[in-house]
Amino acid sequence: MYGYFQVPYMGWRYTSPREGIAQLVEDSVSKLPTQVEWSLDTTRRNWILLPTRILREAQGLADPAFSEVVDHINVHDQEFCLKALSDFRLIIMRLQQIEDSWDERP
């Protein structure tokens, strides 16, 4: 749509998350051979999994500069966006495997 790659991040909300879910997600992502560092922010109502660089540069999700930082990276650092997109595919596949294993439990 914009003619350039965009840095990915995802968010979700649990009505009542199972105990240990955040740690499970963090541990699973940290064990993947990612090209950029990823963080799970659970400080707000919506949990956000995103490249740590965004959190550092925006000084957190609550900072009004968050969207500006994302836009700046999108426009000026396509290499980072491509690495993050590659990681994102791995992360999605891993989270899907975790979900499938939870579904198989009695």
Closest CA to 94 of 24, 8, 16: 24
What is the pLDDT averaged over residues 1-28?
86
Tens of pLDDT, residue by residue over 26-59, are: 999 999 999 999 999 998 888 999 999 999 999 8
Phi, psi of 32 (to 5 degrees): -80, 150
CA of residue 75 relative to chain centroid, distance = 19
- The angle at the Cα of 33, spanning 28 to 36, to the nearest 5 degrees, equals 95
Mean pLDDT over 52-67 rounds to 88
